[in-house]
Amino acid sequence: MGKIKKALITGITGQDGSYLSELLLKKNYKVYGIVRRVALEDETHRLWRIKHLLNKIEIKSASLESYASIVKIIQQVRPDEIYHLGAQSFVAYSFEDEFSTLNTNINGTHYILSAIKDFSPKTKFYFAGSSEMFGKVQKSRQDENTRFYPRSAYGISKVAGFELTRNYREAYNIFACTGILFNHESPRRGFEFVTRKISSSVAKIKHGKQNYLYLGNINAKRDWGHARDYVKAMWLMLQQKKPLDFVIGTGKMHSVKDFAKLAFSTAGLNYKKYIRFNKKLLRPAEVETLRANYNKANKLLKWKPTVKFNQLVKEMVLEDIKFFK
Ligand code: NAP
Ligand code: F7E
């Protein structure tokens, strides 16, 4: 039997952190997660996605805003792999508070890379890049060579994280890669993101607990996949011989309106009766369309998505109908 691998996950309380922990535990990893103090103090609300895993993983308290706290944990754990998923991840919020988004997302990434370089140079590093880096798209299907054109502080922070990751790989020979992941969703998605906002509202409307669903730009189009498929790609990237960056998506694109239409019809409702427009939900600079070309991941990682758009929407709505009963 080989040595048991140790993985350290930032953002373990988030959607992806929870699915990735499950995957790594199944692969017999020892899993450590960095959680901020506030989350530990509010266990019921903040640790709900990993509640079922708490006796199998080890939680460490640290902050992405403190280099010293990151160094301490990397020295203690000496992980074989770090998955850096922790971030202010809500694009709309990044317009309200650019400063903390840039601070957490850029410095947090830099602190981890720098700590790896100085204290654990053999640790492999995964950075959670995003299709928001493509923003105002320069090509109809985006791949690893498409020029970035971010449209928010969030997108800019992810471009900076991508460049830091590349530079640490080239300058210090660290096994560091970026997954440029397109939108991925699940019943564990945060309620502020449009897919979960829709599925939870459909469920509440179905149960008579809500009358209308207010949305912004329903013509925006996204490439939506399932989070469980996407965490597999993260792991695969760190198992390669060479550190490379990969685009991960489904190659299919649907509008917010398509999502809403299917979500309401899954519950036997007509979306036209319930959707209302709220201009406050429009963003100062919108990303209109995103669509992945994931050929490189398919070829080198042998990765492909397994959950289709229709299945994803149905799973989210049916789970929320149970949840809000
Ligand atoms: P998520 O559910 O919003 O989770 C974000 C995680 O980051 C949470 O664990 C959160 O901890 C943590 N976090 C936020 N601010 C922090 C701070 N200041 N210090 C420490 N931790 C902090 O996000 P996700 O959907 O799982 O996404 C994971 C990563 O992938 C993020 O970096 C996101 O930007 C990126 N990404 C996501 C998608 C997507 O479609 N889901 C696509 C591309 C890239 P608390 O629980 O304490 O708030
Ligand atoms: O918006 C439109 C909105 O907030 C999707 C994050 O995981 O994926 C996510 O970012 C679209 C946008 O996700 C509402 O304007 C309309 O065009 O669900 P979202 P996002 O901004 O695409 C990327 C890849 C990440 O990296 C991020 O971390 O939907 N939209 N009406 C709305 N969006 C929201 N949230 N709420 C609405 O009412």
Q: Is residue 113 pLDDT above 70, yes or no? A: yes
What homologous superfamily is domain 188-222+252-290+301-323 in, according to CATH? UDP-galactose 4-epimerase, domain 1 (3.90.25.10)
- Nearest Cα neighbor of 290 from 162, 193, 181, 154 is 181
> How large is the average pLDDT for residues 49-62?
96
Mean per-residue pLDDT of the chain: 97
Specify the pLDDT at position 197: 98
**Minimal-distance CA residue to ligand 1 atom 23:** 14
Specify the pLDDT at position 41: 77
Q: Tell me the CA–centroid distance for residue 105 and ligand 1, in Å.
A: 10
How far is C-alpha 218 from the chain's CA centre? 21
> How large is the average pLDDT for residues 31-39?
90
- Whether 132 is catalytic: yes
> How large is the average pLDDT for residues 185-191?
98
Specify the pLDDT at position 1: 63
Q: With contact defined as beta carbons under 8 Å apart, do 20 and 234 qualify? A: yes
**Minimal-distance CA residue to ligand 2 atom 10:** 91
- Whether 130 is catalytic: yes
Query: Active-site residue among 19, 29, 83, 154?
Result: 154
> How large is the average pLDDT for residues 10-25?
98
**Minimal-distance CA residue to ligand 2 atom 9:** 183
Tell me which residues have their CB closer than 6 angstroms to ligand 2: 89, 91-92, 130-132, 182-183, 192-195, 197, 215-218, 220, 222, 256, 281, 283, 286-287
* Position in ligand 1 atom list of the atom nearest CA 39: 47
Give, in degrees to the nearest 5, the angle at Cα 52 between 49 and 57. Answer: 95
Q: With contact defined as beta carbons under 8 Å apart, do 118 and 220 qualify? A: no
Residue 65 to residue 3: CA distance in whole angstroms = 32
Q: Is residue 44 pLDDT above 90, yes or no? A: no
**Domains of the chain by residue range:** 6-184+224-248, 188-222+252-290+301-323
Q: Which ligand is nearest to the CA of 45?
A: 1
Q: With contact defined as beta carbons under 8 Å apart, do 215 and 277 qualify? A: yes
* Position in ligand 1 atom list of the atom nearest CA 90: 3
Q: What is the pTM of this model?
A: 0.98
Residues above pLDDT 90, as percent of the chain? 96
Q: Is residue 40 pLDDT above 90, yes or no? A: no
**Minimal-distance CA residue to ligand 1 atom 1:** 14
CATH class for the domain made up of 6-184+224-248: alpha beta
* Position in ligand 1 atom list of the atom nearest CA 13: 9
Q: Is the CB of 87 under 6 A from ligand 1?
A: yes
Q: Read off the amino acid at residue 178.
A: T
Residue 183 to residue 177: CA distance in whole angstroms = 19
- Whether 154 is catalytic: yes
Token pair recorded at residue 298: 């398919």
Residue 219 to residue 144: CA distance in whole angstroms = 26
**Minimal-distance CA residue to ligand 2 atom 12:** 220
Q: Which ligand is nearest to the CA of 275?
A: 2
Query: Active-site residue among 22, 81, 132, 185?
Result: 132
Residues above pLDDT 70, as percent of the chain? 100
Q: What is the pLDDT of residues 142-168, one digit of tens each?
A: 999 999 999 999 999 999 999 999 999
> How large is the average pLDDT for residues 275-281?
98
Q: Tell me the CA–centroid distance for residue 43 and ligand 2, in Å.
A: 27
Question: Would strands 176-181 and 246-248 be described as parallel, antiparallel, or unpaired?
Answer: parallel
Specify the pLDDT at position 45: 81
